[in-house]
Amino acid sequence: MIQSSLATTIDARSHVPLEGALPALGRAALFFDVDGTLLEIQPEPDDVVCDAELRALLEGLLTHCQGALALISGRSLDGIDRIFSPLKLTAVGLHGAEMRDAAGNVRRADPHIMDHARAAVRDFVETHDGLVLEDKGATLAVHYRKRPDLGAQALAFLLRFSPGDDLAVQEGKFVVELKPARYDKGSAIATLMRTPPFEGRTPDFFGDDLTDETGFAAINRIGGVSVRIGDAHVRTHAQYTLPDCASLRATLWRRLREARP
Ligand SMILES: [Mg+2]
């Protein structure tokens, strides 16, 4: 599990200022988590939508990094497209179980991988008032935002399905999720980095949650820059932290201004 691996991780945070560490956009590959990173988390996930300022920012970044920009989310590709429409970006969905590369090729994990767990998870959620099931096909997310006291119970229940090699449990902010074990954000970023236009560039990745830790670790291995959004005192693989979504946007706008002639 990610949490136990974090407990043995040395603090990877750098003392070089973030602004000096980020590669120039002309040679950078940019990877962003969505919720809690580019966009504030909302009580209802369907309420999250890309605002005009963020769209302009992404379009500017895309131009200056020659398209080497991807979203790396726990949402489905369809969910990502709903938020960012009319932009259709290179994206990884379901924590790595779905991927659309820069050429538009889509790969999705088989949703039948959840078939033996689906009915039992639905029953568990229906018998625990306040829990919400989000069935994303190849992953099953149990949200406990309205009942934080049920978080540990939901986690223990989902862990019953992951003793083998096929399924794993991903923890997040007020959510636990059953997902195919073979995919994670880190391996998805590494895969995209072997394809154009990402190949040969220096990557940076911005995320905020436990699911992003595999991404931070992968970025560190490749020699990129990993940045966690949120509390600076949390143990993380990320080399840098930024306090909130607004400070990330400000950093990106400064980067964009520096890239413009
Ligand atoms: Mg997030």
The domain that holds 101 is classified in CATH as 3.40.50.1000
Residues 12 and 92 in one domain: yes
Q: Does position 258 have pLDDT exceeding 60, yes or no? A: yes
Of 180, 199, 222, which closes a domain? 180
Of 156, 180, 204, which closes a domain? 180
| Tokens 């809690």, residue located | 36
Residues 50 and 21 in one domain: yes
Q: Does position 13 have pLDDT exceeding 50, yes or no? A: yes
Q: In angstroms, what is the span from residue 33 Cα to ligand 1's centroid?
A: 5
Q: Does position 10 have pLDDT exceeding 50, yes or no? A: no
Structure tokens at 40: 């504030």
Residues 128 and 144 in one domain: yes
Of 180, 204, 221, which closes a domain? 180
Residues 49 and 140 in one domain: no
Residues 12 and 99 in one domain: yes
Q: pLDDT tens for residues 105-124?
A: 999 999 899 999 999 999 99
Domain that holds residue 208: 2-109+183-259
What b/e string do you get for 217-252 counting C-beta neighbours within 10 Å, with b at 16 or more? bbbbebebbbbbbbeeeeebbbbbbbeebeebbebb
Q: Which residue, among 134, 208, 206, 232, has the nearest Cα to 176 in the 3D structure?
A: 134
Determine the pLDDT at residue 232. 86
Count the domains in the chain. 2
Q: In angstroms, what is the span from residue 229 Cα to ligand 1's centroid?
A: 9
Determine the pLDDT at residue 14. 57
Q: In angstroms, what is the span from residue 209 Cα to ligand 1's centroid?
A: 5
**CATH code for the domain of 137:** 3.30.70.1020
Q: pLDDT tens for residues 14-51?
A: 556 888 899 999 999 999 999 999 999 988 888 999 99
**Catalytic residue positions, numbered:** 33
Residues 88 and 209 in one domain: yes
Residues 99 and 13 in one domain: yes
Residues 140 and 38 in one domain: no
Q: In angstroms, what is the span from residue 94 Cα to ligand 1's centroid?
A: 12
d(CA 104, CA 67): 12
Residues 117 and 156 in one domain: yes
Q: In angstroms, what is the span from residue 261 Cα to ligand 1's centroid?
A: 33
Determine the pLDDT at residue 20. 86
Residues 190 and 224 in one domain: yes
Integer CA distances (angstroms), 181 to 32, 76, 198, in order: 22, 17, 25
Determine the pLDDT at residue 16. 64
